[in-house]
């Protein structure tokens, strides 16, 4: 069977289903090329002099790694000149990045976390890039932060690239979730899994157990039931997994099922949660839902949340549909 490249897949989606306008196709290809450059830099590790901190703090209040800054620069430089974008927003920057006036502008807004899980870089654990594409509101030529504040259901595309033993691009354009693996000999992403489906039931959960003392009652109830195993109300044993890289944890769920939880708790309640709605929760929620899973805050569907700020944080519970629904049910029941 002939290998299907990312470009061919996007063109066929454009021709056969009309799902992807030509400029959106080209935008996704540009993002994918940027991810290849980031993958190359990460693979060199200490040999490339890219490990360690740069001594600065980003808008999230986090120490910036050298690869955080480099990945952000790669994505900005790759995307600002193509003519497909009206503006760019990055988790690493306070405000949106305008398209320089010397370049043509397009009708899309690109949102990204240039390097998710960067605390794992120095210990050689998988990290990734997460991105989301929105339409720029009609008539807006100089987008401001408020023009990015669209609920996740209005995303026209979302994806992530995981830099692990192999580099894999996961993508949805609203027509299912697909995976591409970077063939370094060919220099291109090749389709390796079409129509990804997440099992509705699972025996794995992912959560940062060190925060157990801060959890709200519904989350504590769910985890306690999982830990009770066959002797508890669930009547089966569960395994716990936690990578501390959202991309890696979500990729495992897409591959074999599971539930990922970074819920709001007493430790992060004043911030609204731990993960960013625009850069992490929304794109991952679209990818998960398009693969048959569910994504929730505990109180509402993530994709229905109306963003109030560019760097807004939120509670995230996503993965196998029946498990997410169980956690949401516990949040609805009187405590």
Residue 294 β-bridge partners: 319
| Residue 224 counted as an annotated binding residue | no
Give the pLDDT mean for 322-331: 98
Domain boundaries along the sequence of the chain: 6-193, 204-332
Q: State the pTM of this model.
A: 0.94
Mean pLDDT (the chain, rounded): 93
The two structure tokens encoding residue 223: 């985890």
Kindly tell me if the per-residue pLDDT of 93 is higher than 60. yes
204-332: CATH topology:
D-Maltodextrin-Binding Protein; domain 2 (3.40.190)
The two structure tokens encoding residue 139: 């008539």
pLDDT computed for residue 226 by the predictor: 98
Q: At what angle are helices 22-44 and 66-79 packed, to 10 degrees? A: 150
* Backbone torsions φ then ψ of 52, nearest 5 degrees: 95, 175
Nearest-CA neighbor of 169 among 74, 28, 11?
28
The two structure tokens encoding residue 166: 């192999």
Nearest-CA neighbor of 271 among 315, 230, 313, 209?
313
Strands 313-314 and 275-276 turn out to be: antiparallel
Q: CATH code for 6-193?
A: 3.30.540.10
| Residue 115 counted as an annotated binding residue | yes
Q: Which residues of 206-215 are buried (b: 16+ CB within 10 A; e: fewer)?
A: bbbeebeebb
Q: What is the largest CA-CA distance in the chain?
A: 66
Give the pLDDT mean for 219-238: 97
Kindly tell me if the per-residue pLDDT of 51 is higher than 90. no
* DSSP three-state, residue 29: helix
Q: Token pair 């690109």 is at which residue? A: 110
pLDDT in tens, 71-85: 999 999 999 999 999
pLDDT in tens, 168-187: 999 999 999 999 999 999 88
pLDDT in tens, 22-39: 999 999 999 999 999 999
pLDDT computed for residue 16 by the predictor: 81
C-alpha separations of 131 from 8, 20, 101, 115, 144 in Å = 21, 17, 24, 10, 19
Q: What 3 state SS string does 219-240 have? A: HHHHHHHHHHHHHCCCCCCCEE
* CA–CA separation, 96 and 108 (whole Å): 13
Give the pLDDT mean for 116-127: 86
Count the Cβ atoms, other than its own, within 10 Å of residue 242. 15
pLDDT in tens, 130-164: 999 999 999 998 999 999 999 999 999 999 999 99
Element (H, E) at 178: strand 177-183
Residues 6+ apart with CB under 8 A from 113: 90, 91, 129, 130, 131, 276, 279, 280
| Residue 39 counted as an annotated binding residue | no
| Residue 116 counted as an annotated binding residue | yes
257: left (phi over 0), alpha (psi -120 to 50) or beta: left
Residues 6+ apart with CB under 8 A from 306: 149, 151
pLDDT computed for residue 279 by the predictor: 98
Kindly report which listed range (21-25, 154-158, 212-216, 307-311) carries the lowest average pLDDT score.
Answer: 21-25
| Residue 304 counted as an annotated binding residue | no
């Amino acid at each position: 069977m002939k290998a299907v490249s990312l470009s061919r897949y996007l063109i066929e989606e454009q021709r056969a289903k009309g799902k992807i306008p030509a400029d959106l196709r080209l935008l996704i290809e540009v993002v994918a090329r940027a991810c290849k450059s980031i993958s190359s830099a990460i693979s060199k590790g200490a040999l490339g002099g890219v490990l360690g901190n740069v001594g600065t703090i980003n808008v999230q209040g986090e120490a910036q790694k050298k690869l955080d800054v480099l990945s952000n620069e790669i994505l900005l430089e790759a995307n600002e000149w193509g003519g497909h974008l009206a503006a760019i927003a990055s988790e690493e920057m306070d405000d949106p990045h305008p398209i320089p006036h010397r370049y043509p502008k397009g009708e899309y807004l690109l949102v990204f976390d240039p390097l998710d899980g960067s605390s794992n870089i120095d210990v050689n654990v998988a990290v990734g890039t997460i991105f989301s594409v929105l339409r720029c509101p009609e008539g807006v030529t100089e987008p401001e932060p408020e023009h990015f504040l669209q609920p996740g259901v209005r995303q026209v595309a979302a994806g992530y690239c995981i830099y692990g033993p192999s580099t894999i691009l996961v993508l949805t354009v609203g027509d299912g979730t697909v995976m591409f693996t970077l063939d370094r000999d060919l220099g291109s992403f090749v389709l390796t899994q079409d129509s990804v489906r997440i099992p509705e039931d699972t025996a794995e959960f992912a959560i940062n157990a060190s925060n157990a003392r801060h959890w709200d009652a519904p989350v504590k109830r769910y985890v306690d039931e999982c830990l009770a195993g066959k002797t508890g109300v669930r009547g089966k044993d569960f395994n716990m997994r936690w990578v501390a890289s959202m991309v890696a944890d979500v990729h495992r769920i897409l591959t074999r099922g599971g539930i990922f939880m970074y819920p709001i708790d007493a430790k992060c309640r004043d911030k609204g949660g731990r993960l960013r709605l625009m850069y992490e929760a929304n794109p991952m929620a679209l990818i998960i839902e398009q693969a048959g899973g569910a994504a929730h805050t505990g109180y509402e569907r993530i994709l229905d949340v109306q963003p109030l700020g560019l760097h807004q944080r939120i509670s995230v519970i996503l993965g196998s549909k029946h498990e997410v629904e169980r956690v949401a049910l516990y949040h609805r029941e009187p405590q």
